[in-house]
Amino acid sequence: MLRNRDGLGRVAIIGGGLVGTCTALELSDRGYKVDIFEAHSELVCKASQHNEGKIYLGFIYALDLSLNTAHTMIEGAIQFVELLSRWIKFDIEDLMSTPFHYCVHKGTLAKADKLAAHYQSCADLFEDVRSQTGLKYLGLIEKIYSRRMNEQDIADIANPEYIDAAFETNEYAIDTYKLASLLRQSVSQTDKITVRANSKVVGLKKSDDNSFRKQYSNLEGAITWSPPYQGNRVWNLVRKGSLLRVMAG
């Protein structure tokens, strides 16, 4: 981080996926100037765009009997819309999928009754998190549920030869392509964020004055050093190895 004349830092972010881009938008809202170094040609074009987009409620983590995974997922899910609204303008109903159904395969490790009990635990956990935060799932849903489907309804969606049971839920995914596009649009509307696309960070170097520079290559493979960022903390992370995977990139 490099301090500017207002006393606010200039921040370098390596990787412009969902995490890097949202971090940049939040920092720019708080008055920081931000450079995003992205190895590819545009932001939010890798895993954050090409994924299922599910806003998990913990249903699929039935083998974690501690419920820790479900709890973490529910805490994230209930804040998702609230957080995104800080950085982009959207109507969640334009982004939402149809609700998920879960089919229980005959060879599954978790049988239908065990799953039904797990889904109920998720619903109870959701109640707790909802009462602590006052938030709704996707800003709309106050209660989550799972409902066991009858044989006829199952036959309409899956081959009963392979399926023991099925559940309807009110868990949803969002359209990750639309989300990616909205995030890129939001970044393009702030002059506090500079996107250094096609810039793969391949190294970090500490200077004598404790600042550090990023070494990055462009599409033609030319290697460039970034301006210096003040960064004892980052440098310490590098020394401890937390950032070494970036250097190896």
Ligand X SMILES: Cc1cc2nc3c(=O)[nH]c(=O)nc-3n(C[C@H](O)[C@H](O)[C@H](O)COP(=O)(O)OP(=O)(O)OC[C@H]3O[C@@H](n4cnc5c(N)ncnc54)[C@H](O)[C@@H]3O)c2cc1C
Nearer to ligand X, 73 or 115 (CB): 73
Structure tokens at 242: 């937390």
The secondary structure of 117-162, three-state, reads HHHHHHHHHHHHHHHHHCCCECCCECCCCEEECCHHHHHHHCCCCC
CA pair distance 82, 231, nearest whole angstrom = 31
Shortest distance (Å) from residue 58 CB to ligand X: 12
Nearer to ligand X, 53 or 154 (CB): 53
Cβ atoms of 32 and 24 closer than 8 Å? no
Nearer to ligand X, 19 or 155 (CB): 19
Shortest distance (Å) from residue 199 CB to ligand X: 6
Residues of this chain that bind ligand X (CB under 6 A): 14-20, 37-40, 46-48, 51-54, 56, 200-201, 246, 249
Shortest distance (Å) from residue 113 CB to ligand X: 26
Cβ-based burial of 6 (10 A; exposed 0-12, middle 13-18, buried ≥19): exposed
Nearer to ligand X, 61 or 154 (CB): 61
Nearer to ligand X, 154 or 246 (CB): 246
Nearer to ligand X, 95 or 154 (CB): 95
> What strand order describes the sheet that includes 193-196?
2-3, 9-14, 33-37, 193-196
Cβ atoms of 33 and 187 closer than 8 Å? no
Cα Rg of the chain, angstroms: 22
Instruction: Of 143, 165, 183, give the one whose Cα is nearest residue 57.
Output: 143
Pairing, β 229-230 against β 33-37: unpaired
